[in-house]
Amino acid sequence: MEKHTVAIIGGGPGGYAAAIRLQQYGIDTIVFEKERLGGVCLNWGCIPTKTLVKVSDLYNELHQVEEFGLSVENPSFDYSKIFERKNQVVEKLVSGLEFLFKKRQIPVIIDEVVAIAEVGNGYQLSTANGLYDAHYVIIATGSQPKELPSCKIDGEYILSSKDILKTETLPDRLIVVGGGVIGCEFASIFSQLGVEVQIVEFLPRLVSTEDEDISKRLAMVMKKKGVKVHLDAGLKSWQRVAEEIKAALSNGKELTSDKILLSVGRVPVFDLACKNFDLSKEKDAILINDSMETNEHNIFAIGDVTGKMLLAHTASKQGLVTANIIKNRVEHKEFTPDVIHYENIPRCTFTNPEIGSVGLTEVQARKKYNDILIGKFPFSANGKALGLGSTYGFVKTIAESATKKIVGMHILGPQATELIAEGGIIVHSEMTIEEALKVVYAHPTLSEAVAESIEDLEKMSIHSM
Strand partners, 304: none
Q: Which DSSP symbol is given to 405? A: B
- Given a contact cutoff of 8 angstroms between Cβ atoms, the answer to whether 397 and 457 are in contact is yes
- Cα separation, 16 vs 20, in Å, equals 6
Q: Within 10 Å of residue 66's Cβ, how many Cβ atoms?
A: 9
The HSE-up count of residue 206 (CA atoms within 13 Å, CB side) is: 31
- Please list the residues that pair with 9 across neighbouring strands: 32, 139
Checking phi first, is residue 225 left (phi over 0); if not, alpha (psi -120 to 50) or beta? alpha
Residues in the chain: 465
Report the alpha-carbon distance of residue 345 to residue 233 in Å, rounded.
30
Burial label, 118 (beta-carbon count in 10 A; 0-12, 13-18, 19+): middle
Closest CA relative to residue 237, chosen from 281, 175, 293: 175
**Alpha carbon distance 23, 228 (integer Å):** 50
Is position 443 annotated as part of the catalytic site? yes
In this structure, are residues 36 and 112 in contact, taking their beta carbons and an 8 Å threshold?
A: no
- 105-273-324 Cα angle (round to 5): 40
Residue 397: φ, ψ to 5°: -120, 140
| CA–CA distance, 46 with 133 (Å, rounded to integer) | 33
Starting at the edge strand found earlier in the chain, the sheet holding 347-349 runs 347-349, 354-359, 406-413, 394-400, 372-378
Whether 439 and 426 have beta carbons less than 8 Å apart is answered as no
Is residue 94 within 8 Å of 78, Cβ to Cβ? no
For residues 253 and 150, the answer to whether their CB atoms sit within 8 Å is no
Q: How far is it, in rounded angstroms, from Cα 345 to Cα 308?
A: 11
Half-sphere exposure of residue 244, counting CA atoms within 13 Å on the CB side? 10
DSSP state of 367: H
Residue in 63, 332, 443, 463 annotated catalytic: 443
DSSP 8-state assignment for residue 264: S
- The closest alpha carbon to 365, from 407, 426, 425, belongs to 407
Residues designated catalytic:
443
